[in-house]
Structure 1
């Protein structure tokens, strides 16, 4: 079994942030296929529930930034979301990209010719509440992945409540507690990973050591600049989440030679 919740024998893990989103519109199947081709160890995605209970890969609460439509994701049916163009904002070359179901992304990862993990962030607050985590676990269970035995899936959130809920539903899945502005005084006791943003790491590099001293593996988002990659490697970061998986993988490879 390949455990993708910890560094592989290639060293620092590289996780594709919403796919290879430097080259393709985020959260589209094209972005994820490119990320797999670029050698990403895992694919990061954000999930929300549509009005009719479908698990879709969309970061924002609304669709304005990433599509040609308007509206709140949780108030739109999957059919309504599917009618929107999620590629045009990235340029005419990407027109026609459609909203991605999480289950379709999961199938894409499982069909890869090598183990490719999934780092799934449940987005909160949302009107879906606990239904979001329940649906995620249902889909994972349908594919035999909810018990965590495969090592292919990990869950992430800024919400301690969301991670606690996931732990109750699927205690075998690794949990990543995301940190944006500061280290919160209380983290889920079952979380094995901490995920500070790169801005926080730049301001407080010693944070990585403090987190590791607590027994936590550390992943940093979103690491696109060469100097940030170097900083994270020097600090002993275990996982880099990046929009540029190929470039980061090549930089890490060059350091190892």
Structure 2
């Protein structure tokens, strides 16, 4: 069994922060789960929500705010930094791209470019990287890029359209249909 730290050691540190991921290493996690979003200036950050209000009280929309401004309001972590940390410490990654977003598939395009640029380091480290999304279109973009893809689904009917090698049902589906798993 592998243990992935959900948004890092998010019970002990702000979720998705550098401190949370560093603590996850100390706690012995096998890998990291992270949610990624694009800032207004097209920086990929590790952040679950579409705005900062729940975590900071400041109501800033991620897609409408530059990274430098977000950094002042919240403990945001660049995905490129998390990727470097994962490679250095041999921690696998489960990355969720969040949708819908104003930039559509740009998040996948930039993520694919970064992973391609770091491909030799990723391979040498021995880590695995999977990309997941509740968006069928995002999952298809990841499959076409040749990446390990996970289709997360909230509607069982959409499962018939799946071409990803791995699927992940939403919690409500499992609660309503325990025999599904």
Q: What TM-score, normalized to structure 1?
A: 0.65
Contact residue 48 and residue 57 of structure 1 kept, 8 A:
yes
> Do structure 1's residue 108 and structure 2's residue 85 form an aligned pair?
yes
1:179 corresponding residue in structure 2: 153
1:107/1:13 CA distance change after superposition, 3 Å: same
The farther-off stretch of 45-54 and 139-148 is 139-148
- 1:157-212 deviation line (CA, Å, top 9, x unaligned): 001100111222x21x21111133546343431x111112444334323212xxxx
Count of aligned pairs between the two proteins: 180
SS where residue 158 of structure 2 aligns? coil
- TM-score (normalised: structure 2): 0.90
Match of 1:194 in 2: 167
Say if 1:193 and 1:110 are closer, same or farther in 2 by CA, change over 3 A: same
1:163 equivalent in alignment to 2:106: no
Which residue among 100, 106, 115 is the counterpart of 1:125? 100
Structure 1 position 24, deviation (Å): 1.0
- CA-based RMSD: 2.1
Aligned match of 1:94: none
Describe the SS at the equivalent of 1:51: coil
In structure 2, relative to structure 1, the CA distance for the partners of 1:122 and 1:148 (3 Å cut) is farther
Kindly state the Cα deviation for residue 69 of structure 1 after the two structures are TM-superposed: 1.9
Q: Secondary structure at the match of 2:77?
A: coil
The 5 A counterparts of 1:1-257 are 12-84=1-73, 86=74, 98-112=75-89, 115-144=90-119, 150-168=126-144, 170-171=145-146, 173-180=147-154, 182=156, 184-189=158-163, 191-208=164-181
- Asked whether the 8 Å contact 2:39–2:62 carries over to 1, the reply is yes
Residue 143 of structure 1: how far off its partner (Å):
1.0
Rounded Cα–Cα distance in structure 2 between residues aligned with 1:40 and 1:20: 9
- Aligned counterparts of 1:193 and 1:50: Cα–Cα separation in 2: 28
3-state SS of paired residue (2:29): coil
The 1:146–1:157 alpha-carbon spacing in structure 2 relative to 1, beyond 3 Å, is farther
Larger radius of gyration: 1
Q: Which has the higher helix share?
A: 2
Give the distance between the partners of 1:36 and 1:131, measured in 2 at CA. 30
